[in-house]
């Protein structure tokens, strides 16, 4: 599965699964995907809505012992991530392009994930868009099913209304337990800032971070 190919983005040969170049490669797979075929026996971390992938790449470089799978519906962001994965020859990063509600639900075994991270997702402020919100009880329930016992669901938002809604949504999923005494953290628990986070910091917005742990 992992073979050396000409890097389509330039820079010579790179060891990379060929189908990783196509956002919908996962459609050829039996679902849920046997991720160990691609990533070995590593713990699995998923980032949902990774944007252009800077945070995902930084985390993957910091934790080569962990397999990272990014889910993003924005094609340009997906391509940017792949370009860096290829240029840097990273073997512990995979990505799938599509809607995270579908992909997280179908592509992962129940109880198989070490973490699911959602950084600054689109807010979808209108009521008719509510079902698309990632910071929702519906999405948290899917994530909770996919987490192993002790696995973490992590989220961040710049918007105080969505922070409040996220807190209520977490409260609606009893198997998720908050890891901090305060309703949310106002300082980032991560060693890297995401692209949007840097923007919000420059604008002086208050940020809200959540870490919950799955308990069966
Ligand atoms: C505001 S951007 C933040 C990007 C990045 N996480 C950051 O912090 O820089 C939100 C991203 O979430 C993605 N997104 C929102 N809903 C999604 C969904 N249901 N499935 C996949 N990606 C989604 C969008 O395409 C967009 O790239």
Note down the domain range covering 99: 18-214
Confidence at residue 21, expressed as pLDDT on a 0 to 100 scale? 63
The answer, yes or no, to whether any atom of ligand 1 lies below 6 A from the CB of 121, is yes
Residue 148 domain-assigned (yes or no): yes
Q: What is the dihedral of CA 77, 54, 87, 17, to 10 degrees?
A: -60
The answer, yes or no, to whether any atom of ligand 1 lies below 6 A from the CB of 99, is yes
Residue 43 domain-assigned (yes or no): yes
- Which tens digits make up the pLDDT trace of 75-97? 899 989 988 988 888 889 999 99
Number of domains in the chain: 1
Residue 11 domain-assigned (yes or no): no
Confidence at residue 86, expressed as pLDDT on a 0 to 100 scale? 83
- Which tens digits make up the pLDDT trace of 100-114? 999 999 999 999 999
User: In angstroms, what is the span from residue 156 Cα to ligand 1's centroid?
Assistant: 12
Task: State the closest ligand 1 atom to the C-alpha of 99, by its place in the atom list counted from 1.
Answer: 20
pLDDT < 70 regions, the chain: 1-22
Cα(204)–Cα(177) distance, integer angstroms: 30
Confidence at residue 1, expressed as pLDDT on a 0 to 100 scale? 45
CATH of residue 156: 3.40.50.150
Residue of the CA atom closest to atom 13 of ligand 1: 49
Confidence at residue 117, expressed as pLDDT on a 0 to 100 scale? 98
């Amino acid at each position: 599965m992992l073979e050396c190919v000409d890097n389509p983005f330039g820079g010579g040969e790179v060891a990379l699964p060929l189908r990783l170049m196509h956002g919908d490669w996962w459609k050829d797979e039996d679902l849920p995907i046997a991720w160990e075929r691609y990533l070995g026996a590593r713990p699995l971390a998923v980032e949902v809505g990774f944007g252009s992938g800077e945070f995902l790449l930084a985390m993957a470089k910091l934790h080569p012992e962990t397999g990272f799978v990014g889910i993003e519906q924005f094609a340009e962001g997906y391509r940017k991530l792949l370009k860096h994965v290829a240029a840097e020859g990273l073997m512990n990063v995979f990505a799938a392009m599509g809607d995270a509600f579908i992909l997280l639900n179908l592509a992962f075994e129940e109880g198989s994930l070490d973490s699911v991270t959602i950084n600054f997702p689109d807010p979808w402020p209108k009521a008719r868009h509510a079902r698309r919100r990632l910071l929702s009880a519906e999405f948290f329930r899917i994530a909770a099913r996919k987490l192993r016992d002790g696995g973490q669901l992590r989220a961040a938002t710049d918007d105080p209304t969505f922070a409040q809604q996220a807190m209520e949504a977490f409260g609606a999923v009893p198997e998720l337990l908050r890891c901090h005494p305060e309703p949310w953290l106002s300082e980032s628990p991560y060693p890297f800032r995401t692209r949007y986070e840097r923007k919000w910091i420059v604008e002086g917005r208050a940020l809200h971070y959540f870490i919950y742990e799955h308990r069966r």
